[in-house]
Amino acid sequence: MNIALRIYILVFVLFLYAPTLLLPLFAFNDSSIIAFPLSGFTLEWFSALWQENGLQSAAVNSLIIATASSILATTLAMLASSASVRHDFPGKAPMMGIIMVPMFLPEIIIGVSLLTMLVLAGLPLSIYTIILGHTLICVPFCIAILRSSFQHLDPSMEEASLDLGETRATTFRRITLPLIVPGVVSSLLIAFTISLDEFVIAFFLSGTEPTLPVYIWSQLRFPKKTPIIMALGTVLLVVSVCLLSFSELVKRRNLRRLGLDHRPGV
């Protein structure tokens, strides 16, 4: 039974990763047709990236949006997680439920409803509107991460700090923040990655300044651009994996430092 399971999981993981592994494969392939056999190694697609019109500005837009969204989402998530884990107040469950809803709605619903509101309100579509949309969908994920941080925070730590003479503000700076830093870093990185890759909402809410995914979308109909898209995809893949691995490492290192590790799934 175990052998069957092991074979299964091997095939499973291969199937899961196969498409993604094709990305770097064909990004370095010296052929404009995406097919086997491979033709040879080349870096021309990567250098072609630099010449692409609009790519760089789209990338910059994406970076700005991702940075702003991650900071905003993390801040809102910190407030919500703190309230949810450490305080009791009427309406807590329904309010938290509503805040978490964007994680369970199809992005198209969020996209068209935001579009509707902005158009009816007469507001222009821009980078700022995308930031708002991305923040909305990132907050639930950030809360999922930060809840754990706050749950592991001993409330008597903050009380001890107050007892020893600090104010609420300095207590937050000296005690609370350092102790939830792993969660905060994770949250920032996850939100950044989500925003960077997000397409549907950006597609509906971008004005004249497209994000990187929206730019990619516009290029997909050109078969000649395929290998260049592959190269771009590879870059994005490497960036995402690096960010996520970094996030994991930071999380583990901090947990070890605080003596909280040795628990699976933490």
Partner 1 sequence: MIKLEKIQKYYGQYHALRDISCDMVEGEFFSLLGPSGSGKTTLLRTIAGFEHPDSGDVSIDGQSMAKVPPNKRPTNMVFQSYAIFPHMNVAENVAYGLRSKAVNKTDQLKLVRDTLAKVDLAGYEDRAAHAMSGGQRQRVALARALILKPKVLLLDEPLSALDRKLREEMQSELRRLQRNLGITFVLVTHDQEEALTMSDRVAVMFEGRIAQVDTPETLYRRPASKRVAEFFGSMNVLPAKLIDKSIHGQTVGIDGLGHIEVPENQFPEIALESNLCAGVRPESMTILEEDDNTAEKQTDGVITDVEYRGEMTYYDVRFEGTEQLVCVSMRNTTARRIKQVGDAVRIGWGRDSVVLLVDQ
Partner 2 sequence: MNMNENTARGLSQISLPFLFTMLLLAAPIVLLFAMSFWTQDFLTIDHTLSLSNYKQAWSEPIYQTLMLRSLKISMIVTALTVCLAYPAAYYMSFVVPNHRKALWVFLITIPFWTSYLMRIYLWKVILGYNGVVNGSLIDLGLIAEPLEFILYNQLAVVVTLSHAWLPFAVLPIFVAMEKIDRSYLEAAQDLGDSAFWRFLRVTLPLSMTGVIAATLIVFVPTIGDYVTPKLVGGPDGLMIANMIELQFKKANNAPLGAALALSAMLLVAAVAAIFLWLNRRYLQTETRA
Q: What is the DSSP letter of 102?
A: G
- The span of 75-83, 100-108, 157-165, 204-212 binding partner 1 (CB under 8 A) equals 157-165
CB of residue 181 to partner 2, shortest distance in Å: 19
Alpha helix segments (H runs only) across 87-106:
92-100
213 binds partner 2 (CB under 8 A): yes
Which of partner 1, partner 2, none does residue 265 bind (CB under 5 to 8 Å by kind)? partner 2
Stretch that binds partner 1, among 123-131, 156-164, 188-196, 234-242 (CB under 8 A): 156-164
**Torsional sign, CA 175, 255, 143, 92:** negative
135, 72 in Cβ contact below 8 A? yes
The residue type of 215 is Y
**If you write DSSP's letter for every residue of 24-47 in order, what string do you get?**
HHHHSBS-SS--SSP--B--HHHH
The number of C-alpha atoms within 13 Å of 125 and in the hemisphere containing its C-beta is 21
User: Does residue 178 touch partner 1 according to CB under 8 A?
Assistant: yes
Nearby residues of 192 by Cβ (< 8 Å), 6 or more positions away: 66, 67, 69, 70, 243
Number of amino acids touching partner 1 (CB under 8 A): 21
Residues 182-201 that bind partner 2 (CB under 8 A): 190, 193-194, 196-197, 199-200
Q: Is 109 in the site for partner 2 (CB under 8 A)?
A: yes
Per rule CB under 8 A, is residue 259 in the interface with partner 1?
A: yes
Binding track over 199-238 against partner 1, x by CB under 8 A: ----------------------------------------
Helix (H) / strand (E) containing 67: helix 55-86
The binder of 157, among partner 1, partner 2, none, by C-beta within 5 to 8 A per type, is: partner 1
Q: How far apart are the first and last CA of the chain?
A: 29
Question: By CB under 8 A, is residue 165 in contact with partner 2?
Answer: no
Q: Which does 7 bind (CB under 5 to 8 A by kind): partner 1, partner 2, none?
A: none
Q: Does the protein bind partner 1 through residue 77 (CB under 8 A)?
A: no
Partner whose binding site includes residue 35, from partner 1, partner 2, none (CB under 5 to 8 Å by kind): partner 2
Q: Are 111 and 201 in contact (CB under 8 A)?
A: yes
The full DSSP string for 147-194 is HHHHHTS-HHHHHHHHHTT--HHHHIIIIIHHHHHHHHHHHHHHHHHH
Q: Which of 72, 77, 179, 205 binds partner 1 (CB under 8 A)?
A: 179
Contacted by 175, from partner 1, partner 2, none: CB < 5 to 8 Å by type: partner 1
What does 237 interact with, of partner 1, partner 2, none (CB < 5 to 8 A by kind)?
partner 2
